[in-house]
Amino acid sequence: MKLILANPRGFCAGVNMAIESLDRALELFGTPLYVYHEIVHNRPVVERFRKRGVVFVDRIEDIPEGSNVLYSAHGVAPAIREAATSRRLHAIDATCPLVTKVHLEAVRFAQEGYTIILIGHEGHDEVLGTMGEAPTNILLVQDVSDVERLDLAENARLAYLTQTTLSVDDAEIIIHALRLRFPQIIGPSRDDICYATQNRQEAVKQLVPEADVVLVLGSRNSSNSMRLGEIAQSCGKPAYLIDRADEIDDGWFKESDTVLITAGASAPEEVVRECVEYLERRYGATVTSRTVREEHVNFPLPRELRVVALT
């Protein structure tokens, strides 16, 4: 067996910042420490923090008044911030700056009188946060059929935005459909789909022709991880999304297979190493690392943590 390790893979700058923020908040404030939604969409990461005393909640009302709360990398709506203030919560904002960019675009377009078409997945934490910035101005579309069902005047003042973790190819298809139907529609000055999502997808596209099987490390509620598996499958290769090595099924492989291994932007490197070590033991696999694109992006810790650290 041959293993190809795709680079880049795993944690992006936004996920690194969010996880470092939670680690630092635990050092500074101890427990109980609350996080609104999962810090990132990855089961091993969330379970590790639960064992350290972090409490993940889906309702601000479930957090005792005066407590410390950290907002996840996916961002929150203004109504959540207001609810936190009313409960006198001490909030730490670990929203990914690339998600914040989309929020600010939504606010700007709404203030300028645009109806905003948001391309994304219904119910995703990031989508809920973005729509909350301008709830009366934003319509959600998930596919081309949603575009066809839009009940808008042909000359309506329109703008589009996208969830940051979409498939680049799928988003382009929907944007094309929007432009065909509404030629006047405008978009963001820079692409909303984040650099890490695009790079991981590009690595799979370039390397998958060499593989017989693809393993994607990531959780099922991780949009960008799901997209990596879908891309591999669209290229005609079997792809399996797993959280850990103990989910590997030997029925997926032949001993002579070439296996491409990648990881979504919220999947830790240790689970990649566990999978590699299992396949080395079980099949005597040899490993080659292949870099498609270099990444050198870093985001600072939230202001709230920097201020506390200084004082």
Q: Which residues are catalytic?
A: 126
> 96 with 164: CB under 8 angstroms?
yes
The answer to whether 15 touches 299, Cβ cutoff 8 Å, is no
Neighbours of 228 (CB within 10 A): 31
Inter-CA distances, 278 with 48, 125, 274, 285, Å: 21, 33, 6, 9
3-state helix, strand, coil in the chain (%, to 5): 45, 20, 35
Rounded distance, CA 14 to CA 165, Å? Answer: 12
Extract the tokens encoding 44: 């091993």
| CA 146 to centroid of chain Cα atoms | 23
Residue in this structure with the two tokens 């991780």, named with its chain if needed: 222
Sheet holding 213-217, edge to edge: 239-242, 213-217, 258-263, 2-7, 286-291
Provide the β-strand partners of residue 288. Answer: 4
Find tokens 């680690």 and name the residue.
Answer: 23
